[in-house]
């Protein structure tokens, strides 16, 4: 049984940083991917970033390029999302999700993912 659990959300001032963690249990495949998504109140879910386990490819939404970095710790089976230069518009519930097989062209499409975490709140405010 695959489980993904997010942690690391919180309140941060604009310009600050946070690191989110996604611990994946039962998911040690060489294929597949872990993605980060977010949903702000009244808005649709948005794909933020993804790491493809097959070849290590990284994907980012245009809105976070240059500010967010996704990485993986193979020993801990954990994927991180380092978020720098945070803006109020980054405020959302952030979700981690696991895909058993990733189609790169659809890397940031939520429907491609099979298992989802419960979400962690990120609030950027002064």
Q: Show pLDDT as tens, one digit a residue, over the chain (126 residues).
A: 889 999 999 999 999 999 999 999 887 667 789 999 999 999 999 999 999 998 899 999 999 999 999 999 988 889 999 999 999 999 999 999 999 988 888 999 999 999 999 999 999 999
Structure tokens at 50: 């993804």
The structure tokens 């060489």 sit at 30
Question: To which residue do tokens 């990485």 refer?
Answer: 71
Distance CA 77, CA 43 (A): 31
Looking at residue 27, its pLDDT comes to 72
Tokens 């959300």 map to which residue? 9
**116 closest CA partner among 51, 58, 40, 35:** 35
Q: What's the chain's length in residues?
A: 126
């Amino acid at each position: 049984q695959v489980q993904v659990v997010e942690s690391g959300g919180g309140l941060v001032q604009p310009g600050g940083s946070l690191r989110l963690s996604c611990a994946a249990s039962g998911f040690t495949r060489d294929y597949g991917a872990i993605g980060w998504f977010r949903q702000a109140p009244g808005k649709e879910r948005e794909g933020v970033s993804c790491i493809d386990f097959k070849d290590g490819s990284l994907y980012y939404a245009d809105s976070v390029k240059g500010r967010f970095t996704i990485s993986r710790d193979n020993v801990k089976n954990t994927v991180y999302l380092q978020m720098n230069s945070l803006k109020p518009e980054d405020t959302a519930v952030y979700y981690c999700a696991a895909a058993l097989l990733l189609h790169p062209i659809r890397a940031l499409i939520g429907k491609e993912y099979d298992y989802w975490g419960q979400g962690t709140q990120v609030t950027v405010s002064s």
